[in-house]
Structure 1
Amino acid sequence: MQQLINTALGGLTQGMVFAAFALALVLIWRSTRIVNFAQAPMAMVTTFVALVVIEQGYSYWLAFAAALLSGLLLGAFLERVVVRPVEGKSEINAVILTLALFIVLHAGAAVVFGNSYRSFPAPFGIRGFEVGDRTIALTGFGVFRIVSVLVVMALLVALFRYTDLGLRMRAAAFNPEVARLLGVRVGRMMTIGWALASVVGSLAGLLIAGGNLVHPGYMDSVVVYGFVAAVLGGLDSPLGAVVGGLVLGLSLAFVSGYVGGQLVALAALLILMVVLTLRPGGLFSATAERRV
């Protein structure tokens, strides 16, 4: 029973890590219709910005704010300078460009920050809570992860469903020509979409790094599972990203705990295949309506 509870709690926490990254992918997809493969190294760079601030003797929360601000600026800069020239052209151009950014940011971070492993602190305890005479696999930082992801999900739902900005961002992403005719500044919406997605990605990077060792490739193992979580839930749904992350996290935790850690990657592939076979658009995809 103790193992079952700890496995479930471990899967819950890990699933929220996948969900945090998936939310960044959902945000940039909904606002720009681009799958950003550079999301992980962008988050890694901002996490190292936070680490530099901490190593200079400043508080974790100042570093937290610095990471989010640097993410905002980095996302806006990359959209305006790197991605903007290929917008409006073939969709594959932007995808290839983000793959190139993945490589460039990795290499640049290794040059600037080095390749050595460095410890990243956590703002809350990383020791499991004690219930009676037992310690469960849920930490203070794990609770912080869960709350942070749920808050971001709620904010994204509110942004796209209840705000004029969210409506303009979606209009600019779905049909830029018509949006321009309606007075939407499409270029500005694209910049805002990249900037906000980079902020959410920066948060994901901080949640993954807390209490662990970081290096330029520390997010690589999470990237694939984050993409899988986003696709499972449906790239258009913030709620789907969280549910996809939880389904994936819990499933992989039970596979690792009861079957074998070497089968985790295979289990993720099988889950993805089953969901895409039964529901190609993801668990929370909506039926597209066409009008003529």
Structure 2
Amino acid sequence: MGQFIQLVVDGLSNGSIYAVLALAIVLVNQATGLINFAQGGMAVFSAYITWLLTEHGLSLILAILLSVLASFVLGALVERLVMRRFERGDPDTAVVVTIGLLTLITGICGWLWTYNNQQFRSLFSLTTVSIFGAAVSIRSIGTFAVIAVIMLFLQALFLGTKFGLALRAVAINPKSAALSGLPVGRLLMAGWGLAAALGAVAGALVAPQLTLTPGMMDTALVYALAAVILGGQSSPVGVVVAAWLIGVVENLAAVYVHFIGYDLKVAVPFILTFVVLVVRPQGLFGRKVVARV
């Protein structure tokens, strides 16, 4: 039982890493209707900004706050100067552009700061506490709590505020939104800016656990995309629950399903996603899209 609890706790900790990136992807999707593959690269760039500020003597909290602000501006500029040229065209083209941005941002990070591992200070203590016989670090608990707060904030934003409803309206039908008087351009910039700011928080949470490198988010991005598909692209709560589920099931399968083991556990989330999509194509918490003809 002690081993089972430890695997569950470790799975929730790993799932939190995927969840914070998945939330940023959902935010862009709710604002533009696109899946932003560049989100991982933007989070890494923000993490390097935080690291650079701490290396120059700033406190970690202040460095994160400044990085969040800088990331908001960067995300808004990326939308205004790059993505806006493709958002009204073929969606597949826009997705390819985000993949190109991921490659570009990763290369810029490597060029500026090399590909060597950098030690990133943790926001939370590494001290462990015992919970039902499992050793849980304060960092894992803190990360879990931050993810829960962000999840509730985004859920409230999308469902309970005029700004969130406006973002969704622009993503669904930008022409109708513009005719209704909504400032479509500014809303798109705000959506990308908020997602980039959330990516800065993701980078600050993930970097201490993975060590800071330009490719730090590559694997996490794959899992985050699986969580977005599994949980539903329209549900912040859904993608977080899906990310936690992926982390837990992956850990349990690696230990208790012998033919999978640690070598094949990477396939578990994709098998889980495939099974769920066969039964419920919109994801566990997603809304079914109804097209009027």
Q: Same fold (TM over 0.5)?
A: yes
- d(CA) in 1 for partners of 2:82, 2:145: 34
Note the alpha carbon deviations across 1:214-239, whole angstroms, 9 max, x for none: 11011111110010011100011011
| Mapping of residues 1-292 of structure 1, within 5 Å | 1-130=1-130, 136-258=134-256, 259=258, 260-290=261-291
What is the Cα deviation at residue 196 of structure 1? 0.7
- d(CA) in 1 for partners of 2:130, 2:8: 16
Distance 1:273 1:212, change over 3 A: closer
Aligned residue type for 1:22: A
SS of structure 2 residue aligned to 1:138: strand
Q: Does the Cα contact within 8 Å between 1:34 and 1:95 map onto a contact in 2?
A: yes
| Stretch of structure 1 that moved more, 107-116 or 251-260 | 251-260
What is the Cα deviation at residue 50 of structure 1? 0.4
- d(CA) in 2 for partners of 1:190, 1:131: 43
Distance 1:120 1:212, change over 3 A: farther
Q: Does the Cα contact within 8 Å between 2:64 and 2:200 map onto a contact in 1?
A: no
What is the Cα deviation at residue 175 of structure 1? 0.6
Q: Does the Cα contact within 8 Å between 1:169 and 1:193 map onto a contact in 2?
A: yes
- d(CA) in 1 for partners of 2:211, 2:90: 39
- d(CA) in 2 for partners of 1:180, 1:104: 32
Note the alpha carbon deviations across 1:12-31, whole angstroms, 9 max, x for none: 11111111111111111011
Aligned residue type for 2:22: A
Unaligned runs of 5+ in 1: none
Identity of aligned residues (%): 34
What is the Cα deviation at residue 130 of structure 1? 4.0
| TM-score of the two chains, using structure 1 as the length reference | 0.95
| TM-score of the two chains, using structure 2 as the length reference | 0.95
Unaligned runs of 5+ in 2: none
What is the Cα deviation at residue 86 of structure 1? 1.5
What is the Cα deviation at residue 128 of structure 1? 2.1
SS of structure 1 residue aligned to 2:37: coil
- d(CA) in 1 for partners of 2:270, 2:131: 36
- d(CA) in 1 for partners of 2:130, 2:247: 23
Q: Does the Cα contact within 8 Å between 1:16 and 1:146 map onto a contact in 2?
A: yes
Note the alpha carbon deviations across 1:29-76, whole angstroms, 9 max, x for none: 011101100000000000000001111122110111122112211110
What is the Cα deviation at residue 127 of structure 1? 3.5
- d(CA) in 2 for partners of 1:201, 1:255: 29
Count the aligned residue pairs: 290
- d(CA) in 2 for partners of 1:232, 1:209: 25
Note the alpha carbon deviations across 1:122-146, whole angstroms, 9 max, x for none: 12222321469x6x33111111111
- d(CA) in 2 for partners of 1:38, 1:234: 19
Q: Does the Cα contact within 8 Å between 2:21 and 2:199 map onto a contact in 1?
A: yes
Q: Does the Cα contact within 8 Å between 1:121 and 1:212 map onto a contact in 2?
A: no
What is the Cα deviation at residue 288 of structure 1? 3.1
SS of structure 2 residue aligned to 1:129: strand
Q: Does the Cα contact within 8 Å between 1:16 and 1:246 map onto a contact in 2?
A: yes
Aligned residue type for 1:251: V
Note the alpha carbon deviations across 1:192-213, whole angstroms, 9 max, x for none: 1101111112211211112441
- d(CA) in 2 for partners of 1:249, 1:131: 18
| Stretch of structure 1 that moved more, 122-131 or 20-29 | 122-131
Q: Does the Cα contact within 8 Å between 2:12 and 2:244 map onto a contact in 1?
A: yes
Q: Does the Cα contact within 8 Å between 2:130 and 2:136 map onto a contact in 1?
A: no
- d(CA) in 1 for partners of 2:87, 2:217: 27
- d(CA) in 1 for partners of 2:127, 2:210: 13
- d(CA) in 1 for partners of 2:131, 2:115: 40
| Stretch of structure 1 that moved more, 90-99 or 201-210 | 201-210
